[in-house]
Amino acid sequence: MMTSEIATRYLDYFQKNDHTIVPSASLVSDDPSILFTIAGMVPFIPFLTGVVPAPYARAADVQKCIRTNDIEEVGKTARHGTFFQMLGNWSFGDYFKEGAIGYAWELLTSSEADGGLGFDERDLWVTVYEDDDEAARLWHRIAGLPADRIQRMGKDDNYWSTGQPGPAGPCSEIYFDRGPAYGRDGGPAVDDSRFTEIWNLVFMQDLIADVKSKTDFAIVGELPKKNIDTGMGLERVAFIKQGVENMYEIDQVRPVLDRAEALSGRRYGASHEDDVRYRVIADHIRSSLMLLSDGVTPSNEGRGYILRRLMRRSVRAMRLLGVDGPSFPELFTASRDAMASAYPVVVDDWARISQYAYAEEETFLRTLAAGSTILDLAVSQTKDAGAFALPGAEAFLLHDTYGFPIDLTMEVAEEAGLSVDREAFDALMLEQRTRAKADAKSRKRAIADLSVYRDFRAHGETVFTGYTDLETESNVLGILVEGLPAQRATQGQIAEVILAETALYAESGGQVADKGVIVGPGYELEVLDVQKPVPGLVSHTVEVTSGEVGLGQAATSVVDAVNRRAARQAHSATHLVHAALRDTLGRTATQAGSLNRAGYLRFDFAWGQALSPETKTEIEEIANNAVRDNLEVTTRVLSLSEAKELGAMALFGEKYGDVVRMVDIGGPWSRELCAGTHVSTSAEVGIISLVGESSVGASNRRVEALVGQDAFRELAAERAIVSQLTSVLKTPRENLPARIAELTASLKAAEKRIASFEAKLLGERVPELVSSATSAGPFRAVTASVGRAASADDLRGLVLQVRDRLGSGPAVVALGAEVGERPVVIVATSESARAAGAKAGVLAKTAAGLLGGGGGGRDDVAQGGGTDVSALPVALEAIVRALEATHA
């Protein structure tokens, strides 16, 4: 049974049983405390906790999930995967344990001919929470399971909670017996390798508090509305129904594994280590494809870092299989074809997805080449020092700074006859993870407990009137002070205020929040921020500047009209720039992020190379031509499917409901889904001036622009500078580039003549320096500060001349100079001096330490530097003492 057929049977069954079929939410989670949708229940948390009223009594879905906390286990077991799909059915105060157990058993054991999944009842076992007698009785009555196939487990296995105070409850898990070939008999309590969990039914009935750990909490009451939350792993069911060994061999994953096998020439199944690598590749390529399809792009932080890690682990695994060149064009194509029937977006958006994937692989292959060079040097230095293990700090630096994987470091070191101090490396990794966890924990603590918004959201969604009004009368529904509900807020306090209606725009879609005030009888509040802490609810962070605001009072939200006008200009200008980019570069130049505030826009887009000056000019001209043409800006509210049929762009990183707002500028020329505020006609935007273009990753570029009055001021300032230059240089404006180029060439020529003169003066000092040679232990040494030098290369040339004039005896020359207002020391040793133990690199490093900097190099010539020019005499004296110590 194909994976997509299992999903279809599941949804069809629950649709027949009066469940609303809900489309999968994005892999990018709305929950600010987690990066991804890590479980099927994540999109339903607002409904399960009661913060947001559920729009349906019962639902079913197939939810895309990403989980990377067990990434090191991927490929080693039959069930660990980073991307997976969770089949779920949900009841919000409707049916409870009896219904959930009945539906699960019927779907699992009904014949395939009748639309079921066709499991043999004899192969199924269940577990229940140790105190849940009701669930045990229901399993016996509904399914006819004997007592020995209903096993009781403790809180660690069969009790579910979010880990926070709030809703929780016992759960019941359904297991499939894979047979004696896979382990011991006796049920899941004895062997969870042989008995594979396929479905978990959570009975959310309790209210818990005083949560200390997963198993240490207090049940303080029952929920007034009991919910059902179930999750069945689609991949687990698929590998059982398809008769394969693990999830990596199912129809949606195996094609990638097969392609990797063909590229490497090694047979899957011949080596355990290679098999793990094949499975890692198959899993990670699919996960990367799905993350890219949901708008995540590779980067060095957050979600982008997780994606980058998955892709780079795939490259690394291919390398360990003997494939050093690019493989993503074939691997991603195989994954696309395998996933296309379930997720057509991977085909529809293939141009963008493949562009990011291929660029990331190309970048990492270059990183590996550079890392190999650095690693070769580290290996050489370790061997020169007579050590047998590469320091853990070196391995960590390669991993953390250059992205060079530890197992490749170990492989290269082993080939050179060295080990790696893995204990020190692991300690540094643990230290880094501890810092990251502490940081994540502090960020999580900074987020208010969303349950405080439950009562406010129960009044309905906040009505936003700001599309048409800049002032709106309402009343105060809620006040939060320091994250806790309050009756009032007084002068000087910072508080959150919830209104029934507001004219103030909450930050979203790249547009920053409005500025403004909230006023009422006897009080005034300065609005500091406007956000949507939970879907449909707007919260205003305010400072009480006068009086006292209390619950139930009248309140009028007043938008700063000047700031709003400039913000509208910037947001509409963003749409114009996006359309101009696509006109110029093609439809793959899609948005990857944006920021709009009064007078300024920042726009990130998918593109792999810098824009030429001519291209930037063309984009700017197209956008400003649209302004000149005074295009009509219209908005329509319609269904998501209608908007997409009309060609509206759904931008990545944005969440859309069934009903969306579509913004047209000039009809279909610019047509995007957008909830932001906009001008009425494009002429209101004013001027758009591109002021910057830069890289924000291997496959992303960023343009920045000033808009309206801010753009005018920038252009006026540039005009003033040009006017000053024409006056000072006595050159017409059109001749300025040529005149400045001429002056620059003259300056460079003068600098070159000065440098030549200074080098000549240094060279004339060679006899004097040779004659100043003194004894330092067994060495003939010349140490001196020669004043200023045009460059370190000039000083190096002088040092080598002096060394060569000292003859074949053990000679060391160390000269210091001020180069560009910084101290530089160059050290050179003769061959016989090196034989006697003098190493230029060590001596240069010694001097650099006293100069406040660093240094090193080869044994024959080396360089050091720092920041303290006055320390040059001391640094040179330290070299003499080091030479004398060598003699001692």
**Bind-site residues for Zn(2+):** 571, 575, 674, 678
**702 contacts 693 by C-beta, under 8 angstroms:** yes
Residue reference for tokens 């232990």:
777
Residue-wise DSSP of 656-708: --SEEEEEEETGGGEEEE--S---SBGGGG--EEEEEEEESSTTEEEEEEEET
Residue whose token pair is 């409870």 = 96
Helix axes 736-763, 792-805, angle to 10 degrees: 20
Distance CA 93, CA 11 (A): 21
Pairwise CA distance, residues 817 & 791, whole Å = 9
- Token digits of residue 864: 């050091």
CA torsion 549-551-552-557 (nearest 10°) is 50
Cross-strand bridge partners of residue 681 = 632
φ/ψ of residue 647, rounded to 5: 90, 15
Q: How far is CA 394 from the centre of its chain?
A: 26
CA 91, CA 253: separation in Å to the nearest integer? 32
Known binding-site residues equal 571, 575, 674, 678
Can you list the positions of beta strands (E) in 382-457?
Answer: 389-390, 419-420
Contacts of residue 538, Cβ cutoff 8 Å, sequence gap at least 6: 462, 464, 498, 499, 502, 504, 506, 530, 531, 532
Cα 571 to Cα 751: distance, rounded to the nearest angstrom: 48
**What are the CB-based long-range contacts (under 8 Å, 24+) for 213-221?**
214/155, 214/156, 214/161, 214/163, 215/154, 215/155, 215/156, 215/159, 217/161, 217/168, 219/168
Q: Specify whether the CB–CB gap between 453 and 480 falls below 8 A.
A: no
Nearest to 175 by CA among 140, 204, 144, 149: 149
Strand locations in 454-611 (E): 463-464, 471-481, 484-485, 488-490, 494-499, 501-502, 516-520, 523-534, 537-550, 554-559, 591-597, 600-606
Residue with tokens 């906009």: 678
Place of tokens 């660029």: 359
8 A C-beta contact, residue 599 and residue 708: yes
Residue type, 632: E
- At 775, which helix (H) or strand (E)? strand 774-776
Per-position DSSP letters for 9-53, written without gaps between them: HHHHHHHHTTPEEEPPPPSB-S-TT-SB--STTGGGHHHHTTSS-
Q: How far apart are CA 737 and CA 563, in angstroms?
A: 38
